[in-house]
Amino acid sequence: MNVSPVVDLSEDGASGRSPVYVVFLAAVAAISGFLFGFDTAVINGVLLFLQRQFQLSTFQTEIAASALLLGCLLGAAGASLVGDRFGRRKSLLLAAILFAVSTVGAALANSLTVFSIARLAAGLAIGLSSVLTPVYIAEVAPSRNRGRLVSLNQLAIVVGILVAYVVSWGLAGLGETSWRWMLGVAAIPAIAFFFGLLFIPESPRWLISSGQRQRGLQVLERIYGAAQADAQTAAIEAAASSEEGSWREVFSSAMRRPLSIALLLAVFCQITGINTVLYYGSILISEHLRGQTTGTALMANVVIGCTNLICTLIALYCLDRWGRRTMLLTGSTGMALSLFLFVLAYHVAGIPPLLILACVLSYTGFFAFAMGPIPWVVISEIFPTKIRGRAASIATSALWTSTLVVTLTFLSLIRWLGVSGTFGIYAILSVATFVFIWKMVPETKGKTLEQIQQEWEA
């Protein structure tokens, strides 16, 4: 199967002028997704060595894993203030600088405190970019392929995760200080991200909504061609004229339903436990599956990362064909079944570890097919332009809060409830996720951002 993220970037039948240009904009912005994935997943390999070097307790290990997530929460919470005030592009430049500085700081850390502070700074970068990258891509992408273009960011995230696992596995042979090199290599893509941002424009929707009509029109002409740019500009201006862009509008009765959907979707995609596999997979495999060593645990992480990548590619192929809602229902069903099978397999004596790993791979695959990419797409789509940054910031903050809670409690839950009890909770939450999607999440496939806005107001 030839999976291509781009088929026709024109706007609902119109001839777009430069589809390659749109892909370039999305690809540069999505480098932040690679850094997001690498910086979050590299802790999986780092923890094995960090525990020994700094003699960490269970709680200290959870702190080391969670410091970045606290930064993600704070960065996401402030992303709207920065993004709406200074624009999407300048805010992403700030994130690129934070990525580079924090990477070097974490690699050179001589104590858990210094390590945690550096990781918190990396989290600030991830929080900013996790809000603003999907928003930026959604605001430059034609509706026909917006889902797949926004999901390029998720593809970059899972590539970053896989590269983190491969790097950790490959560098583990350097000895007890190998964790420093695992962290330090991320400085290279951080610098590339910074310089790439110098060659892309500001979001045309942000420019027009900020009163910079001519600059916004010039960007739209490169995306749609001159014939369509004027019509796009008029539609954006008409939509923006009915928006206040205030916090009052974010929490208005008209926005209550989309905000509730965004918040709950963000929470459910995390409390189903995926980050326990992504962040603690090496500890889980080496300590709780019979006969597994550090080396085999790191190798298993690579297999999990490959599964994550393959299923994300499948998601990119299906997203603007199947639609958001159908894929979310499929993914949540598969996650629930995979987790229930994992719990059962873990209780059966003599079950080969490979079968248990297969359940983990199935769970990861269904997450990557739906719950990984689609919440970012939906959150970037369902809000009006003037409040999109603020509303996305709230939803993404909820996502990072959920991630922080899961990561900060996982090892303790394992100690109190055991592996099967902990993953049984995540299985039940996956069922709850299915019910929520079935009852509340609408389909947005093929609609312009302005059409989606009009439907909330109808």
- Write down all domains in the chain, each with its CATH number in brackets: 19-200+242-457 (1.20.1250.20)
Is the model's pLDDT at 389 over the cut of 70? Answer: yes
pLDDT at res. 9:
38
**What pLDDT score was predicted for residue 296?**
79
| Per-residue pLDDT tens over the stretch 132-152 | 998 899 888 887 778 778 888
pLDDT at 7 > cutoff 50 = no
Average pLDDT over the chain, rounded to an integer:
87
Mean pLDDT of 223-246: 79
Burial status of residue 124 (CB atoms within 10 A of its CB: 0-12, 13-18, 19 or more): buried
The whole-angstrom distance between residue 133's C-alpha and the CA centroid of its chain comes to 10
Q: How confident is the model at residue 289 (pLDDT cuts 50, 70, 90)?
A: low
What three-state secondary structure class fits 179?
helix
| CB 107 within 8 Å of CB 180 | yes
Alpha helices of 200-293 — where are they, by DSSP H? Answer: 204-209, 213-224, 226-241, 247-250, 256-271, 274-288
pLDDT at 11 over 80: no
Q: Note the pLDDT of residue 244.
A: 63
CA pair distance 280, 66, nearest whole angstrom: 11
Q: What is the pLDDT confidence band of residue 207, given thresholds at 50, 70 and 90? A: very high
The angle that helices 19-41 and 213-224 make with each other, rounded to 10 degrees, is: 100
Residue 15 pLDDT grade (very low, low, confident, very high; cuts 50, 70, 90):
very low
Residue 216 has pLDDT above 50, yes or no: yes
Per-residue pLDDT band at 6 (split at 50, 70, 90): very low
Answer whether residue 453 shows pLDDT above 80.
no
Average pLDDT over every residue of 114-138? 94
Is residue 17 scored above 60 in pLDDT? no
For the cut 50, the answer to whether the pLDDT of residue 410 exceeds it is yes
Angle, nearest 10°, between helix axes 374-381 and 385-440?
Answer: 130
What is the model's pLDDT at position 290? 63
Quick one: pLDDT at residue 4? 34
Could you give the CA distance from residue 442 to residue 335 in angstroms, rounded to a whole number? 21
Please state, in angstroms and rounded to a whole number, the distance separating the CA atoms of residues 104 and 100: 7
Q: Express as a percent the part of the chain with pLDDT over 70.
A: 93
Rounded to a whole number, what is the largest CA-CA distance in the chain?
A: 69
pLDDT (average), residues 161-171: 91
| CB 173 within 8 Å of CB 108 | no
Judged against a pLDDT cut of 80, whether residue 159 lies above it is answered with yes
pLDDT, position 200: 94
Query: Above 90 in pLDDT, residue 129?
Result: yes
- What was the pLDDT predicted at 121? 97
Whole-model pTM: value is 0.78
Count CA atoms within 13 Å of residue 306 on its CB side: 7
pLDDT beyond 90 at 263: yes
Give every CB contact of residue 35 below 8 A, 6+ residues apart in sequence: 99, 125, 126, 129, 160, 186, 189, 190, 193
